[in-house]
């Protein structure tokens, strides 16, 4: 194609920009396809709920129904053993909130009337804070939760004690 309607250098800059867009597009789409990364969407197989709870599904498998509302998460604190795989379903009772776990690659919206899902494995013991990362009103900064991941032995002791 002839590019004589603009300056020669301008044409090169334009072609370079165009080329980079193609390179980035191919890189993003290609990597996503290669690694099986999907664009997050709301799940339809799970109905919105009005009570937050942690349910144990197997020895190290949990389902967390995390409810966001102005201005707290329910449940506020959960305790799980190291190595636990947690499937989180999250929704909101009022406005749109954010759901982020510090130190984990999880960042979802909590949307009234819809449910979002994430699967997270907690290999390392420690305290992981759940924070709302969407400004949701006057108490936004008080909106957090804690996931306590205990080493296996400590977890067993805790479980005995909490019965």
When asked if residue 130 is in the footprint of ligand CUA (CB under 6 A), the reply is no
- In the window 6-65, what residues touch ligand CUA (CB under 6 A)? none
Q: How far is the CB of 136 from ligand CUA (least distance, A)?
A: 3
CA distance 122 to 118: 13
Q: In 36-151, which ranges are continuous DSSP H helix?
A: none
Which residues, 55 to 84, sit near ligand CUA by CB under 6 A? 71
> Is 7 strand, coil or helix?
coil
- Which letter, b or e, does each residue of 131-160 get, where b requires 16 or more Cβ atoms within 10 Å of its Cβ? bbebebeeebeebbbebbbbeeeebeeeee
If one asks whether residue 140 binds ligand CUA (CB under 6 A), the answer comes out as: yes
With CB under 6 A as the contact rule, the residue among 143, 147, 149, 150 that binds ligand CUA is 143
**Residue 139: CB minimum distance to ligand CUA, A:** 8
Which 89-108 residues touch ligand CUA, going by CB under 6 A? Answer: 97-98
Q: What is the closest distance, in whole angstroms, from the C-beta atom of residue 88 to ligand CUA in the complex?
A: 16
The whole-angstrom separation of Cα 72 and Cα 75 is 9
Minimal distance, residue 107 CB to ligand CUA, in Å = 13
Residue 141 neighbours by CB under 8 Å, 6+ apart:
none
Residues that bind ligand CUA (CB under 6 A): 71, 97-98, 132, 134-136, 140, 143
């Amino acid at each position: 194609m002839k590019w004589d309607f603009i300056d020669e250098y301008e044409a090169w800059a334009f072609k370079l920009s165009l080329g980079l867009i193609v390179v980035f597009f191919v890189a993003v789409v290609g990597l996503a396809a290669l690694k099986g990364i999907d664009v997050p969407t709301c799940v339809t197989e799970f109905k919105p709920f009005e009570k937050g709870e942690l349910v144990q599904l197997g020895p190290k498998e949990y389902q967390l129904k995390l409810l966001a509302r102005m201005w707290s998460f329910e449940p506020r604190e959960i305790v799980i053993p190291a190595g636990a795989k947690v499937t989180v379903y999250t929704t909101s009772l009022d406005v749109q909130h954010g759901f982020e776990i510090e130190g984990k690659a999880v960042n979802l919206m909590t949307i009234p009337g819809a449910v979002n899902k994430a699967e997270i494995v907690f290999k390392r013991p420690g305290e992981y804070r759940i924070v709302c990362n969407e400004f949701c009103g006057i108490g936004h900064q008080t909106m957090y939760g804690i996931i306590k991941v205990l080493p296996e032995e400590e977890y067993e002791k805790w479980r005995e004690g909490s019965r």
